[in-house]
Structure 1
Amino acid sequence: MTGFADRHIGPAPDERAALAEAIGTRPGLVMDEALPDAIRAAGGAAGDGAPMRADAGADAAERAGGGGGARDGRARRLPRHGVSEAQALAELRALAAENTVLTPMIGLGYSDAVTPAVIQRNVFENPSWYTAYTPYQPEISQGRLEALLNFQTVVSDLTGLPVAGASMLDEATAAAEAMLLARRAVRGQSDVFVVDADALPQTKAVLRVRAAAVGIEIVERDLAAGETLPDAPFGVLVQYPGASGRVSDPTPAIGAAHTAGAQAIVAADILALALLRSPGACGADIAVGSTQRFGVPLGFGGPHAGYMSVRQGLERQLPGRLVGVSVDADGRTAYRLALQTREQHIRRERATSNICTAQVLLAVMAAMYAVHHGPDGLRAIAVSVAGRAHRMAQALAAAGHAHVHAEFFDTVRVRVPGRAADVVANARDRGVLLHLADPDTVGISVGEATTDADIEAVLAAFGAEDGAGRDTAGSTALPPELRRDDEILAHPVFHEHRSETAMMRYLKRLADRDYALDRGMIPLGSCTMKLNAAATLQASSWAEFARIHPFAPVDSVAGHLELIDQLEGWLADITGYDAVSLQPNAGSQGEMAGLLAIRGYHASRGESGRDVCLIPSSAHGTNAASAVLAGMRVVVVACDERGDVDLADLRAKIDEHASGLGALMITYPSTHGVYEAGVLDITEAVHDAGGQVYIDGANLNALVGRATFGDLGGDVSHLNLHKTFAIPHGGGGPGVGPVAAKAHLAPFLPSHASAQRPRDGIGPVAAAPYGSPGILPITWAYIRMLGADGLAAATDAAVLNANYLASRLGEAFPILYRGERGRVAHECIVDLRPLRAETGVTVDDVAKRLVDYGFHAPTMSFPVAGTLMVEPTESEDRAELDRFADAMIAIRAEAAAVGAGEWPADDNPLVNAPHTAESLTREWAHPYSRAQAVFPAGPAQPAAKYWPPVARVDQAYGDRNLVCACPPPEAFV
């Protein structure tokens, strides 16, 4: 029977031999030729088996029928051999069975939501949505861009603020980003930030971690009680409703903030805003929160789409991604990412945020939840939630149990002096989880999925009965003066898709407008768009993983914790480190966590002055941005003509900053797509000067099984589970960015007060204790089915595929960087600058023309302007590699025709690309044929032609005329 590795790796064994032969070598020698001798010596030669700490004992247990050791804890170490899809799913079923699915009524920012089946099947479980990439190429991303514009419109409408972003990582980190935005908006006033005492505890904890890194003082005030603000704060955050459930008017606190010269931030429950006056109507400058309760599973804490919206005047400082409306070359309305010059990849150490991703797949689900239900449906759900909470509170009051707040939306705090723990235990016995607020107080939160039976179980736990009767379910405990009276979600998109037929067709129509991995190769350098195997994804939908509250008691989440423990152990083996935290919910957050660990380590040794971070000029833009947000000073190190770190400049910078050197951040293999031969000299020089080495794990997929970051002298790294370990990109998120470290840094990794298994650390960098554990079964299955040997084989295949493409593309274009034996790593940089000088054809022209050939473009102008960075991954077979190479070579010939004057410079297939189907119906006055425009590959064109829905999008127009909400229907006429 064919194993998972043979299905995951695109080229079959005989194809791999042919690919190797085509580049003048043998399959077993490609890694030998690509890896420098020093790295091979450190990590083990390519042919001698994986150097990772594979667990032979686990394999023995597996052969004896012990399930790979999973049941007795021995499988924490990485198994050498993979297992079948059936066995991996059986082991996941066993882990899932160790979780107990109880009705979650804990609240604290997480609610039991209902995912409409039409959205679960057609978005969450649909590869057309989950295998898409970030919509940097707008012409082939119109479907997900429209979905994100829907999301922005929902957030903007409900918060009452005109500009909303395309999602944040979660509510707590959104609040932290809002804090930093407020500081930028009120420059120089003070370093004091005021936080509502009734804010969510995890939000307060994340704020404290982020504030400490950049010198901000956090001050708590009971804002609902009218406590006086400190002098001259730059920002004030109000929770609405509060974590305790209390609903109070935020207007006085907002007014006090403005009087003090501060920006007012409201952290708001998105469902409550269907009934409550909006933050914008109350005068807020910024609103943040989570859209989890809009149909997104709890997932033990994530992934969920956070949100942020801002008043007019702050839109150009908004962190993260922003979808805007523009026009295409034909004047038709088109969408694209707006104001991209704000992004950290461009601004680097001047960036205002390090966020490199979003939660697109979850934002799409939340947006489609609003499309599915419409404004009337959302209000009905909100009324139902508030009504059940009110009825429950009345019944408890009738039984003599006073509630703490008379006005609330979904959460009731009940006083039971000395008996709170007993009540929580009684409810647990009845299958319901409540919040133990303190020894005298129980918190109860109602969600969309809460039933009458759940309410009756809660009342029974208190010894009460439902004396209020079900006829009061429509009444609420909301203050009348805060009831919302303005229109929400008026755009037709929220009214046109009431039936499932209409909704299904809408989702299909949007998916058809996009190019995702289910259509063809996405050869993005640095981004690793590999196969997201269906078997790895299955468990994420299981209720035993999806319907678990992040603060559920430890004895109800044993399966999750065991999976997390195993995965942390496997990743430690793969990286050569001693400890791993899975909490960071994006690669950028993993970077920041690793740098905070370094800062904590230096401070513990009395060397807090070590705050200089050396970063090569070729590094990912998030590196510099993360360093700044970790409170470090960035010093750029030059690269030489080979693309390697300039050792002479590095040593000079080390000497210049010796006493203040905190860290060096490097990427290995380098961002230029080569294995630098001098990496051990680099790390040794930094260690000799007292610094720590941060190795960016973005390119780990070119190293797994052949060397470890620990071998290279790394002290800490983040990993991208959405790259190396096959969690889907989802159109730009979700991501998971675990941070792994040597033992001396382990005490400074992220921690969380509500973690089921507490650990020492710096505090949280994400809202939930384990970040986004709802998607960790994907990586667990990927590693389990490949094993150490399969992971190493995937690395070898990725490097072989990249070298084959470098060889073929090298026939037509210069390949910018190669290693010491002429090989590249997992990606190669194609230099188009000579082409432009010769013909006038730009990198944009080539990227857009690739769409006509049926491809997503490679990474453009990163890390070198005027280039394409190509990464085929191990998942693509030779036919797809050749189809791409043929397309690039054909485009080179087309450019030559332009340069020779056969086609005018301003009217040729490249400058007019991509060509829409609609363009064929107009009068054709171009000097090339319709067939040359849309079927340039001739017989090699794929059978299912991809038709871009819009022509080339005018980016500048959209930035000059910023529109970030759904345009009216007449815009498309």
Structure 2
Amino acid sequence: MTIQSLPSTFADRHIGARRQADIDTMLKNVGYDTVDGLVDAAVPASIRQENALRLTAALSEVEVLAELRRLAAKNKTAVQMIGQGYYDTVTPPVIRRNILEAPAWYTAYTPYQPEISQGRLEALLNFQTMVQDLTALPIANASLLDEATAVAEAVLLMRRANKRNDGKTVLDADCLPQTIAVVKGRAEALGFEVEVADLSQGLPDGDINGVVLQQPGVSGRVFDHSEVIAAAKERGALVTVAADLLALTLITPPGEQGADIAVGTAQRFGVPLFFGGPHAAYIAVRTGMERTLPGRIVGVSKDNAGAPAYRLALQTREQHIRREKATSNICTAQALLAIVSSFYAVYHGPDGLKAIAETVHNNARVLATALKKAGRELAAESFFDTLTVRVPGKAAKVITAAEARGINLRFIDADTVGVSIDETTTAATLSAVAVAFGAGPVGDAAGLELPEAVLRTSDYLQHPVFNTHRSETQLLRYIRRLSDRDLALDRTMIPLGSCTMKLNATAEMEAISWPEFASIHPFAPDSQTEGWRELIGGLEADLAEITGYDQVSIQPNAGSQGELAGLLAIRGYHLSRGEGQRNICLIPASAHGTNAASAVLAGMKVVVVATAADGTIDHTDLYARIEANKDALSCIMITYPSTHGVYDGDVREVCDAVHAAGGQVYVDGANLNALVGLAQPGKFGGDVSHLNLHKTFCIPHGGGGPGVGPVAAKAHLAPFMPGDANNASSENAGEGHGVAISASRFGSAGVLPISWAYVKLMGGQGLTEATRSALLAANYVAARLDEFFPVLYTGDSGLVAHECILDLRGLTAKTGVTAEDVAKRLIDFGFHAPTLAFPVAGTLMVEPTESEDLAEIDRFIDAMITIHAEIEQVANGDFSLENSPLRNAPHTAAAVVSSDWKRSYPREQAAFPVSSLRQDKYFPPVGRIDGAAGDRNLVCSCPPLEAFEDNTADFEN
């Protein structure tokens, strides 16, 4: 059997190498006559699934979009005034069309190669500056996942930073309910106490490690936190404030009140509700806490010409690098959504944001005045945008009356209703809400102004970037200028091993910004979300079929969060059986770093299992570790195919050994692109897995997020799958059962139509063909490049899975040329580099995916062979390493045209190492960046414009 040629199917557009002539060429190089023969040799027979995937037959793009329209029509749009951390907002069309829906932005990868990421790095630096200014704290990162998990990260940050005090964490009772639920779940696994108290009445007794305040509170209450913060500091506690960024344009920011940390969400800065996500959370800290801050920090350094250049700073803090020493498992962000919100701030500027905030606050005052005139009691008379209204015994009636008018309010209890105002609220809406409460028509606001004690007096967003792009023409060109500085999947192959940068088809992306999906509040009544829930239920069922598990939850909003969810399910299972002592997690030395970090956060102890010389698990060491920990063994975490890009033939044996000792098996699904349709982890030994929709199932990486990391489990673990943070019961909050992983029940639901569409467009046969094509492409690359850059690991048949590791260590020893030199030189060929130094230092890991055609794969191979020839030039003494095109790469246009060219290789070799580049050439905006200089002198906010005029500027903090 060969890969079928079906010209009318979507699979032909998704899979790059579909022509039989191309397939034959690739097979010939690999040494097989058929793709069947290749697959049979590469994939162990012991794990192969017996039956084809039982999915609906592939649909056309027209049919899928029609089906999405049907599902969208089953959702009911409404005026969303539920609040509780989620607000309707206006995404300026110039931002929606040119960022959120633009492949130059959504197909970009995490900016680990900063020279080709300067555009998105600048946009993320704008985000950091925006957060720093609004919170009045000097260090912010480039986003977290959602507000609830950001607060959890802040709590953990306070616990590790506050060494003097091992006391409890105190949460204000006015914190968001979903935040309280998520923090309690994390605390239970890690074994520290959380107390919820009304902090307007002062701090509770006892030792306190950290305090979390909400400003404004979920009730809408705004009050001066300075006394509570001062009292906490006197008792040796650190303080976090979860703050609304829009409100901070009017009220005193956390940093000016003495807070150590500020967290929250940037959702209402132009990011749609998306039924709960994806939304960019933020975190900012005072000076001195930056090196323990979770997530990514964009910093300013300089390139080899002395020009300012952006990069990810302090990368050794990142949790996937720190492994079992991690204090967080964050290895991703919500970069695309952070970029949208940063451009929202650029679009409006400080005056525009303040005007929006003043309008919102005034509308809340108008409604409050009408309600008070009608005798309704407000829970707080100092508020920004949210009113909590007491209506004894009539809450359901008010909610029903508002819904009949197309408005959703927040049901708090039988006597209380919440109303939140946003930038989309109109006078007509205010009148309709007033009528629903039985009040008269709205008029003018009377009193109810913010107290002077909480009013902001300091400036913010004074940098020119927030005060220049006032016209749409200016903003459009700024967006284009930044995107032109980057390399994304719309320009070139991104051969990143372990990252699966495949096609994100336009038809798959189409529905995410439809109002019937994008404008739905995550806590809207079920009667309004039937289409969403049908789509999500169908996707979960399809993923269960694909993986061979019994149940799937799509709540985790990143792969790392899916890992945590799976491990907490294992923990809950052992606790339910009275085996709480089982807390040892075995992890192979080659595993993804987040595996160890997630295990630590799940309250487990990591025991590392050695890797054998051939890249497989060292069985002698494995059995020794199992025997030494047999009574405490909780689980093993394995990645399959292995992190080395190989189908290990012993996976069933490993699973059986762990099960025999009473442990569970966690199969990391990061490499599922090599399994779909061929093998199911739930059938060959796994008890639970996470899988990455932003890899195997086509959700784009977005410059470092959004991600979705569903967790799939066997039936015995189903009771311990993620719970609903908005409906967390006191009965399960402390037992590890159904722990909420993220703020909303369905996590980053807004991007799920992408994966749903991909599965429907491909069908079972198309998904299987994609896997087979990915194997063929990877083995073709390995076969073509092995004589130049030896392939480090192969399976028993001499084949790889969906990726291969190219070993440069011998060449480095011979010439001094490093894998990083090769990565930077590839930029001159217009390529993003493969994965550098993971999982083995001194190597490059390549994953072509099924979406690249033979011509593009050959273009990459030709580039690598040309680079090998340049390495040989160094070895032969044609030029020294320091004066080679490799060490000086990448070459900017300015460097190539400079009259001061003193290098021993010609300009032509620098700029046009292959002839095809003469017509289509990408020039990086900066040369090689000095990472060490940026780490020594951390600058993580927008530099002054003068810095770009003086290339010798020394960036000091």
Q: Using structure 1 for the length normalisation, give the TM-score.
A: 0.95
- 1:928 matched residue in structure 2: 905
Out of 7, 26, 37, the position equivalent to 1:29 is 37
Please state if 1:39 is matched with 2:50: no
Name the amino acid aligned to 1:911.
R
For 1:498 and 1:231, how far apart are their aligned partners in 2?
A: 52
Percent identity for Structure 1 against Structure 2: 60
Name the amino acid aligned to 1:51.
A
For 1:318 and 1:961, how far apart are their aligned partners in 2?
A: 17
Q: Deviations over 1:133-159 (max 9, x none)?
A: 000000000000000000000000000
Give, in angstroms, the shift of residue 21 of structure 1. Answer: 2.2
Out of 791, 797, 812, the position equivalent to 2:773 is 797
For 1:381 and 1:311, how far apart are their aligned partners in 2?
A: 28
Q: Deviations over 1:757-816 (max 9, x none)?
A: 999942311011110101100000000110111100000000100000000111211100
- 2:265 matched residue in structure 1: 290
Is the 2:320–2:330 Cα contact (8 Å) retained in structure 1?
A: no
- 2:952 matched residue in structure 1: none
Q: Deviations over 1:276-300 (max 9, x none)?
A: 0010000000000000000000000
For 2:255 and 2:885, how far apart are their aligned partners in 1?
A: 48
Give, in angstroms, the shift of residue 229 of structure 1. Answer: 2.6
- 2:242 matched residue in structure 1: 267
Is the 2:814–2:875 Cα contact (8 Å) retained in structure 1?
A: yes
- 2:538 matched residue in structure 1: 566
Q: Deviations over 1:406-456 (max 9, x none)?
A: 100000111111111100100000000001111111100001111111111
Is the 2:167–2:206 Cα contact (8 Å) retained in structure 1?
A: no
Name the amino acid aligned to 2:41.
E
Structure 2 segments unaligned to the other structure (5+ residues): 1-6, 950-957
For 2:235 and 2:547, how far apart are their aligned partners in 1?
A: 49
Q: Against the structure 1 CA distance between its residues 739 and 188, is the aligned structure 2 distance closer, same or farther, given a 3 Å change threshold?
A: farther
Give runs of aligned pairs for residues 32-111 of structure 1, distance below 5 A: 32-40=40-48, 43-44=49-50, 51-52=52-53, 54=54, 78-79=55-56, 81-111=57-87
- Residue aligned with 2:257, SS: coil
Please state if 1:238 is matched with 2:213: yes
Q: Deviations over 1:341-362 (max 9, x none)?
A: 0112321000121111000000
Is the 1:98–1:556 Cα contact (8 Å) retained in structure 2?
A: yes
Name the amino acid aligned to 1:261.
G
Out of 10, 13, 16, the position equivalent to 1:7 is 13
- 1:250 matched residue in structure 2: 225
Give, in angstroms, the shift of residue 232 of structure 1. Answer: 2.0
- Residue aligned with 2:196, SS: strand
Out of 138, 143, 148, the position equivalent to 1:172 is 148
- Residue aligned with 1:818, SS: coil
For 2:515 and 2:320, how far apart are their aligned partners in 1?
A: 38
Q: Deviations over 1:911-956 (max 9, x none)?
A: 0000000112321111111110011012x32732111000000000
For 1:159 and 1:168, how far apart are their aligned partners in 2?
A: 16
Give, in angstroms, the shift of residue 468 of structure 1. Answer: 2.3
- 1:710 matched residue in structure 2: 682
- 2:939 matched residue in structure 1: 963
Is the 2:689–2:712 Cα contact (8 Å) retained in structure 1?
A: yes
Please state if 1:671 is matched with 2:643: yes
For 1:35 and 1:904, how far apart are their aligned partners in 2?
A: 44
- 1:414 matched residue in structure 2: 389
For 1:754 and 1:962, how far apart are their aligned partners in 2?
A: 39
Please state if 1:197 is matched with 2:173: yes
Q: Deviations over 1:270-326 (max 9, x none)?
A: 100010001000000000000000000000000000000000000000000000000
Q: Deviations over 1:8-67 (max 9, x none)?
A: 000123122321122111222221111123223xx23xxxxx533x0xxxxxxxxxxxxx
- 1:388 matched residue in structure 2: 363
Please state if 1:16 is matched with 2:26: no
- 1:786 matched residue in structure 2: 762
Is the 2:294–2:319 Cα contact (8 Å) retained in structure 1?
A: no
- 1:612 matched residue in structure 2: 584
- Residue aligned with 1:266, SS: strand
Q: Against the structure 1 CA distance between its residues 756 and 962, is the aligned structure 2 distance closer, same or farther, given a 3 Å change threshold?
A: closer
Out of 240, 247, 256, the position equivalent to 1:281 is 256
Is the 1:113–1:448 Cα contact (8 Å) retained in structure 2?
A: yes
Please state if 1:850 is matched with 2:826: yes
- 2:352 matched residue in structure 1: 377
Please state if 1:350 is matched with 2:325: yes
- 2:752 matched residue in structure 1: 776
Q: Deviations over 1:236-263 (max 9, x none)?
A: 0000110000001111111121111111
- 2:866 matched residue in structure 1: 890
Give, in angstroms, the shift of residue 839 of structure 1. Answer: 1.1
For 1:735 and 1:753, how far apart are their aligned partners in 2?
A: 19
Give runs of aligned pairs for residues 392-791 of structure 1, distance below 5 A: 392-469=367-444, 472=445, 477-754=449-726, 761-791=737-767
Give, in angstroms, the shift of residue 477 of structure 1. Answer: 2.8
- Residue aligned with 2:200, SS: coil
Is the 1:551–1:755 Cα contact (8 Å) retained in structure 2?
A: no
Q: Deviations over 1:41-94 (max 9, x none)?
A: xx23xxxxx533x0xxxxxxxxxxxxxxxxxxxxxxx32x21100101111111
Q: Deviations over 1:735-764 (max 9, x none)?
A: 000000000000001011536999994231
Q: Against the structure 1 CA distance between its residues 448 and 963, is the aligned structure 2 distance closer, same or farther, given a 3 Å change threshold?
A: same
For 1:201 and 1:521, how far apart are their aligned partners in 2?
A: 44
Q: Deviations over 1:615-644 (max 9, x none)?
A: 000000000000000000000001111101
Please state if 1:149 is matched with 2:153: no
Name the amino acid aligned to 2:384.
F
- 1:323 matched residue in structure 2: 298
- Residue aligned with 2:608, SS: strand
Q: Against the structure 1 CA distance between its residues 942 and 756, is the aligned structure 2 distance closer, same or farther, given a 3 Å change threshold?
A: farther
Is the 2:29–2:784 Cα contact (8 Å) retained in structure 1?
A: no
For 1:467 and 1:103, how far apart are their aligned partners in 2?
A: 18
- Residue aligned with 2:309, SS: strand
- Residue aligned with 2:169, SS: strand
Give, in angstroms, the shift of residue 476 of structure 1. Answer: 6.1
Q: Against the structure 1 CA distance between its residues 422 and 857, is the aligned structure 2 distance closer, same or farther, given a 3 Å change threshold?
A: same
- Residue aligned with 1:610, SS: coil
Is the 2:105–2:702 Cα contact (8 Å) retained in structure 1?
A: yes
For 2:845 and 2:317, how far apart are their aligned partners in 1?
A: 22
Is the 2:164–2:236 Cα contact (8 Å) retained in structure 1?
A: no
- 1:60 matched residue in structure 2: none
Out of 119, 128, 137, the position equivalent to 2:113 is 137
For 1:646 and 1:12, how far apart are their aligned partners in 2?
A: 39
Out of 769, 783, 805, the position equivalent to 1:829 is 805
For 1:677 and 1:464, how far apart are their aligned partners in 2?
A: 72
For 2:830 and 2:507, how far apart are their aligned partners in 1?
A: 27
Is the 1:695–1:709 Cα contact (8 Å) retained in structure 2?
A: yes
How many residue pairs get aligned? The number is 936
Please state if 1:876 is matched with 2:852: yes
Give, in angstroms, the shift of residue 467 of structure 1. Answer: 4.1
Name the amino acid aligned to 1:310.
V
For 2:731 and 2:811, how far apart are their aligned partners in 1?
A: 55
